[in-house]
Structure 1
């Protein structure tokens, strides 16, 4: 008996999850597409995988992220449609921010709804992700001019569950939706106030990079310790361990792996009092306005000892692979259906 894992966007947290599952769950077979042009992956990956995943009598479970159009795949490959189908949501397109309201935007959310209808189990990485998706279905479907489907939330909800993204925390001694403008604006204000600080801006660079990045890098000058992608996970965690504060200015976040990794490495988190963050972090680590963020950073710059002596008051263990291993094993090692 084997688990077939399909990842249409093999990068970032998507890659991190399926690599972990393949390593930890017995008899996993993994098929992927590179993490580029997610719009096209969402549109066309089902056809690609229908032609490139070999037929096998050994598959019993199909695990895929919601980038994949599961409905198209199972129609093109009826043999895969017979499997227990587990759909994992890293993010959902019903409430994801878009730059422009175009007709094609509807299709991504619609595809995710269809995928939920054909899935046997629908898993979300946070309660915020699940509830924002389910409670938006009704309003979203009203975009259809007539002959609208009904009762979709009540059909899909019983299949749904929350299973936090599992993080394999390190052994340490201590895009438009992320709103980089607000982040750098706060740092430049600190610089103008004559306050001393250093900053590391870590992460992958994709095709479209907001201009604020190059402007801020130049303006911040010698305050920058690290900039860009660190290919070595050890170097990445070492950079986190050197930091005192980790900041999110995200306009949208369904979980936040990087924030939790930084906190595990000893960073004091500052996050918006919105999105998934109140579910993950205690209230003292949340801010409501850019001005609140600036004032807290200003205070930390003047009194760095405050955060260097601070002990994080939240719970980290519930997000660890050690805590979540059993639930994922159960999800992916269920007995095969009797009708196979």
Structure 2
């Protein structure tokens, strides 16, 4: 099978998924085009211009299947490069632009919403990494079209729902066979050492820095002895709350900021007792899933995609609730017990047959 894969905003999670596709189907011939994950508004709207003029030979080569991320302006690109219109096409949604926290957005999302709507209409099949992602996209499309003053075509969301499915990003075996690097804090078994907390996300508004700060302030009012690793990509305009966390909880921190070395990052994931999420915008949560796969206990908000993945006893409603859950987990771990979270359905072994069935069936529809 010859596959053209287009990623218009190649963030880390998108590249992780691309790697998973290659690992699941090593015998297929993959041709990949990607664009850097910066200048969001320009990138989403201009990727057909960039590719159609600079990568035309690649785009017009012979393929059996086209796979694109939802950041790709697929409708425009297929119009500019007619060869692509003849290829069976799959649009994969890592996220959608209808549920980004509106009071925190730094740019208008209307262009990105319309691009994804047109791309979804142009694609033959849609896949989402979670039911939450699919459902909020379809609801968002219906809400957006309800604002059109006239000439609104009926049944658009229903039409898209008819070709939409859910298929998560598979979890890869990213841990080295010699996992010898230790957690960078005190060694030993809990409770003979502090409880180890890991927070791992981009330093952006939608990842809940204020909730993280509130949870840590709550923990400081208890007798819990803990260590903290706060990891993630940092940006020039990262919210000030992360600077406050760095300063106010320096006595707890064993790591802060982006971890360049993958082995060091895996040591944090593998050594943590609890992985904490405070996200306000998340569609699968790969960083949390990876840490859980490495042995951490998840503590996540009771919202977004998390209810699809984690049991109620590991989800919280508020920072105060999260503090209580951390203390409860600390007591559970002290007794030698450990909550079990089944992630088998997210493994490559479980998901490869699902991907194979969908992609081969789609490729077989070529005229």
- Under a length normalisation based on structure 2, what TM-score does the superposition of the two structures give? 0.85
SS of the counterpart of 1:270? strand
Instruction: Give unmatched runs, 5+ long, in structure 2.
Output: 181-203
Cα offset, 1:338, TM superposition? 4.6
Corresponding residue number in structure 2 for 1:240: 269
Tell me if the contact between 2:3 and 2:66 (Cα under 8 Å) persists in the aligned partners: yes
Q: Find the aligned partners of 2:365 and 2:306 in 1 and give their Cα distance.
A: 38
RMSD, matched Cα? 2.3
Deviations 1:181-225 (A, max 9, x none): 111221123224453211111111234211111111111113101
Between 1:258-267 and 1:326-335, the stretch displaced more is 326-335
Post-superposition shift, 1:332? Answer: 3.2
Tell whether 2:324 aligns with 1:324.
no
Cα deviation 1:300-321 (Å, max 9, x = unaligned)? 45x3734863141x32110011
2:285 to 244, 247, 256: 256
Name 1:163's counterpart in structure 2. Answer: 167
Distance 1:13 1:319 in 2: 15
Unpaired segments ≥5 residues, structure 1:
none
Q: How many residues align?
A: 337
Q: Tell me, in whole angstroms, the C-alpha distance in 2 between the residues paired with 1:304 and 1:185.
A: 23
The 3-state SS of whatever aligns with 1:94 is coil
CA contact (8 A) 1:87 1:123 kept: yes
Per-residue CA deviations over 1:13-59 (Å, capped at 9, x if unaligned) read 11111122234421011111111122221111121122233244421
* Matching residue of 1:51: 53
What is the CA-CA distance between 1:10 and the residue it aligns to?
A: 1.3
Alignment correspondent of 2:65: 61
Contact 1:62/1:85 (<8 A) preserved: yes
Give distance in 2, aligned partners of 1:327 and 1:261.
21
Match of 1:166, SS state, is: coil
Contact 1:244–1:308 (CA<8 Å) still a contact in 2? no
Q: Distance in 2 between matches of 1:111 and 1:94?
A: 12
CA deviation string 1:89-112 (max 9, x = no partner): 011112222236899422211211
User: Is the Cα contact below 8 Å between 1:244 and 1:307 reproduced in 2?
Assistant: no
Q: Is structure 2 residue 95 aligned with structure 1 residue 91? A: yes
Which residue of the other structure, out of 307, 317, 322, is the alignment partner of 1:278?
Answer: 307
Please give the TM-score of this superposition, normalised by the length of structure 1.
Answer: 0.92
Q: Give the whole-Å Cα distance in 2 for the aligned partners of 1:51 and 1:119.
A: 22
Comparing 212-221 and 291-300, the one that deviates more? 291-300
Comparing 280-289 with 33-42, greater Cα deviation is found at: 33-42
Deviations 1:234-292 (A, max 9, x none): 32121112111111111121111111111111111111111111101111111112211
CA distance in 2, matches of 1:199, 1:17: 28
Give matches, 1:1-340, under 5 Å: 1-25=1-25, 26-53=28-55, 54-99=58-103, 104-171=108-175, 175-300=204-329, 303=331, 305-306=333-334, 309-312=337-340, 314-334=341-361, 335-339=363-367
